[in-house]
Amino acid sequence: MVALWLGVGCGIVLIFYIMGLPDTSNLWKTETPSAVTILDRHGVRLVSRGITYGTPLSVHELPAYLPQAVIATEDRRFYYHIGIDPLSLMRAALANLTEGRIVQGGSTITQQLAKNLFLTNERTLKRKIQEGLLALQLEWRFSKDQILTLYLNRVYLGAGTYGVEAAAQRYFGKSATQVTLAEAALLAGLLKAPSRYAPTNDLDRSRWRTDVVLKAMVDAGFIDDAQRRNAQATKPRFTWAAATPGVHYFIDWVVEQLPTLVSRPDTDLVVRTTLDLELQIKAEKAVALTLDRDGDKLNFSQAALVSLTPDGAVRALVGGRSYAVSQFNRAIQARRQPGSAFKPFVYLTALEQGMSPSSEILDAPITIGNWSPKNYNNDYRGKVTLTTALARSLNTAAVRLAEQVGHQNIVDTAYRLGIQSKLDPNTTLPLGTSEVALLELASAYAPFANGGAAVIAHSIIRIETDDGVIIYERLGGGLGRAVTQRNVGYMNEMLSATMRWGTGRAANLAPRAAAGKTGTSQDSRDAWFIGYTADLVTGVWVGNDDYSPMRRVTGGTVPAVIWKDYMLAASANDPMRPLPAIGAKYVSADGENTGGNALTRFLSRLIPGR
């Protein structure tokens, strides 16, 4: 009687769970959420982001070793069980009991399919019972090959891809019907932990996991040891490598802006950006070369670079040493003290109050309250011209000048040119103690390169659907004139001197006309170089994420070297062009004068057009 009532009770529980099972009649219908393909300014594909489902492929259309790799690593008795494998469950239970933790799962491919399609990842008895019941139902309704086909087309394989076809296209740039044995083993290896073993996240770990799968295939009898060795010697070629791993800093910035420019799309999108892949490669190379050569010796572990045209189009962006290690974008998200790289706003304010490059200011010790700023190396020159004070980056002269022109006036000047971070109008302001981002500081130098127009740093040119319908297009230019032609000429005169005989000599591009400014924060915690030619405005920062001091690194050393290495490569094929001088007018690439109503031009940027 006890056994009878237990049977009845179990039957009632099973009926309860069966009644709650989801409908399995639409298994062959795939979802089609939108994906985003991002191109550089020339139409070169940088990356595809978002959830992507590949074209469904039957198990018979794939190379035999692809489903074999999956079976070898996920469920070797797949063709012999009824959806639940008691032997695998007991083996997994014994292994977990021995280790004292979960080290092995006993779920079959059919159970995994049931869980992936219909259930959550919660670890409860209810979910496990539902998973088993669904697995039995799937085995009753479909053949083994149909179940394996469904699994291979619906399983998540990292980087926003579902199914082997989408994953093969994403990682290798080809159909799953064309993958090699090594590539098939890599795809199968992703099933254990897609994000952890994706080659886009950690290539070494992905290769290790691939070797594990190949050994499992040998153990299962699908391949022999010679085939395994040949596969291990064959390194897959990844499509993402063509766009460089560092480009993902820029891609993240683009993707973050999409929701403000387009509503939730119901179709795939193609985004043409301002980035120039050739310049991006040169930027990454210049940063990596200096980090590898001097980083340990001079105690700096990070660097960032941003390069934009004089009208604000970002051509290259390096957000750090390694995107795979840290996705924090030091070119956009980090705010650090710019040091003397902030001084051009002090000197521009003086020019706007009637002074000139030849006006004089005293360079001598000064005390304001309890603060006594000092020059680098404690060297003082007495009365000097503004040109000398800026080119030599004399701190006491800059502090005296700021006291004379007014700290709030300097703040207003910096905001007008494009600084967006909060600036404190205190006595230390002229020495760059208010923190800013590299992108905004480089953007604020753009008016000196373009003839006086403030710009909005931007990354997106056009957004269209996959069938070519334009749903957003950038219109207009910047925010209108911010600096008079006279003062643009004066600033270029002074900042060019910085590179000819001042603190920026290491960045000199002679005979090409260039100008710029060095910056170093207290104790060498940050070092900057912001410079420009008539074609590019580029900023470089080096330092450590934990704010630890570097070993006597200044803006005129490491950042200036990175800047020069990049700019020489980036400008190699550009004609020599002078910087805007007094009385010169800058005309943008589309032939439009950079002046105009700031509000009108700002609004025109936001309004989508065809």
> Read out DSSP for 528-594?
EEEEE-SS-EEEEEEE-TT-PPPSS--TTTHHHHHHHHHHHHHTTTSPP-PPP-TT---B-TTS-BS
Q: Would you say residue 1 lies in a domain? A: no
Q: Report which of 491, 519, 531, 451 is spatially closest to residue 350, judged by C-alpha positions.
A: 491
What is the arithmetic mean of pLDDT over 383-402? 96
- Decide: 30 and 153 in contact? Cβ < 8 Å: yes
One-letter identity of residue 608: P
What is the arithmetic mean of pLDDT over 389-401? 96
- Decide: 196 and 189 in contact? Cβ < 8 Å: no
Q: Which phi and psi angles does 526 have, rounded to 5°?
A: -140, 140
| 96 and 200 in a common domain | yes
Selected residue with higher pLDDT from 563 and 29: 563
Assign residue 171 the CATH number of its domain. Answer: 1.10.3810.10
Q: Would you say residue 28 lies in a domain? A: no
Residues linked to residue 463 through DSSP beta bridges, in sequence order: 271, 472
Cβ burial of 64 (10 Å; 0-12, 13-18, 19+) is exposed
| 302 and 229 in a common domain | no
Bridging pattern class, strands 537-543 and 302-308? antiparallel
Residue 480's pLDDT is what? 86
Q: Quick one: pLDDT band at residue 117, thresholds 50, 70, 90? A: low
Q: How many degrees, rounded to 5, is the angle at CA 329 between CA 328 and CA 331?
A: 150
- Decide: 537 and 363 in contact? Cβ < 8 Å: no
Q: Quick one: pLDDT band at residue 34, thresholds 50, 70, 90? A: low
- 551-608 pLDDT per residue, tens: 999 999 999 999 999 999 999 999 999 999 864 443 333 333 333 333 333 333 333 3
Question: Is pLDDT of 103 > 50?
Answer: no
Q: Quick one: pLDDT band at residue 94, thresholds 50, 70, 90? A: low
- Decide: 430 and 343 in contact? Cβ < 8 Å: yes
Q: Would you say residue 11 lies in a domain? A: no
Selected residue with higher pLDDT from 476 and 430: 430
Low-confidence winner among 149-153, 258-262, 424-428 (lowest mean pLDDT): 258-262
| 199 and 100 in a common domain | yes
What is the arithmetic mean of pLDDT over 119-127? 51
Q: Would you say residue 496 lies in a domain? A: yes
What is the arithmetic mean of pLDDT over 57-70? 93
- 466-498 pLDDT per residue, tens: 788 899 999 876 778 999 999 999 999 999 999
Selected residue with higher pLDDT from 135 and 233: 233
In 16-96, the DSSP E strands lie at 35-39, 45-50, 52-53
- 499-541 pLDDT per residue, tens: 999 999 999 999 999 999 999 999 999 999 999 999 999 999 9
SS3 361: strand
Average pLDDT, the chain: 84
| 298 and 207 in a common domain | no
SS3 151: helix
One-letter identity of residue 285: K
| 174 and 121 in a common domain | yes
Query: How far is C-alpha 21 from the geometric centre of its chain's CA atoms?
Result: 42
Q: In which residue are the tokens 């006291």 written?
A: 403
Which residue, of 225, 243, 261, is where some domain finishes?
A: 243
Q: Would you say residue 262 lies in a domain? A: no
Residue 120's pLDDT is what? 47
- Known catalytic membership, residue 352: no
Contacts for 142 with CB less than 8 Å, ≥ 6 apart: 150
Residue 467's pLDDT is what? 81
- Decide: 243 and 277 in contact? Cβ < 8 Å: yes
| Ramachandran category for residue 248: left, alpha or beta (phi over 0 → left; psi -120 to 50 → alpha) | alpha
Q: Quick one: pLDDT band at residue 45, thresholds 50, 70, 90? A: confident
User: What is the H or E stretch that residue 114 is in?
Assistant: helix 109-118
Length of the chain: 610
Task: Quote the pTM value.
Answer: 0.69
Residue 95's pLDDT is what? 59
Which residue, of 187, 220, 243, is where some domain finishes?
A: 243
User: What is the H or E stretch that residue 518 is in?
Assistant: strand 515-520
| 406 and 328 in a common domain | yes
User: What is the H or E stretch that residue 270 is in?
Assistant: strand 269-273
- 135-192 pLDDT per residue, tens: 787 788 888 898 889 889 888 888 778 899 988 988 888 899 999 999 999 999 999 8
| 284 and 225 in a common domain | no
User: What is the H or E stretch that residue 388 is in?
Assistant: helix 386-391
Question: Is pLDDT of 405 > 80?
Answer: yes
Residue 127's pLDDT is what? 53
Assign residue 295 the CATH number of its domain. Answer: 3.40.710.10
| 288 and 414 in a common domain | yes
Q: Quick one: pLDDT band at residue 30, thresholds 50, 70, 90? A: low
Distance CA 182, CA 199 (A): 13
Question: Is pLDDT of 15 > 70?
Answer: no
Annotated catalytic residue within 48, 74, 183, 496 = 74
Of the chain, the percentage scoring pLDDT greater than 90 comes to 59
- Known catalytic membership, residue 340: yes
Q: Quick one: pLDDT band at residue 98, thresholds 50, 70, 90? A: low
Q: Would you say residue 465 lies in a domain? A: yes
Residue 105's pLDDT is what? 55
Q: Which domain holds residue 205?
A: 49-243
Which residue, of 243, 265, 299, is where some domain finishes?
A: 243
Q: Quick one: pLDDT band at residue 258, thresholds 50, 70, 90? A: confident
Selected residue with higher pLDDT from 13 and 249: 249
Total domains in the chain come to 2
Question: Is pLDDT of 254 > 80?
Answer: yes
Question: Is pLDDT of 446 > 70?
Answer: yes
- 318-369 pLDDT per residue, tens: 999 998 888 899 999 999 999 999 999 999 999 999 999 999 999 999 999 9
Question: Is pLDDT of 234 > 80?
Answer: yes
DSSP one-letter code for 382 = E
Annotated catalytic residue within 48, 107, 307, 340 = 340
Q: Would you say residue 267 lies in a domain? A: no
Question: Is pLDDT of 126 > 60?
Answer: no
Residue 390's pLDDT is what? 97
What is the arithmetic mean of pLDDT over 218-230? 95
Q: Report which of 47, 239, 74, 231 is spatially closest to residue 155, judged by C-alpha positions.
A: 74
Distance CA 227, CA 216 (A): 13
- Decide: 545 and 329 in contact? Cβ < 8 Å: no
| 286 and 234 in a common domain | no
Residue 193's pLDDT is what? 86
Low-confidence winner among 107-111, 118-122, 433-437 (lowest mean pLDDT): 118-122
Residue 590's pLDDT is what? 30
Distance CA 504, CA 496 (A): 9
| 452 and 594 in a common domain | yes
Q: Would you say residue 16 lies in a domain? A: no
- 372-390 pLDDT per residue, tens: 999 988 889 999 999 999 9
Q: Quick one: pLDDT band at residue 53, thresholds 50, 70, 90? A: confident
Distance CA 364, CA 355 (A): 20
Selected residue with higher pLDDT from 269 and 239: 269
SS3 235: coil
| 317 and 223 in a common domain | no
| 447 and 574 in a common domain | yes
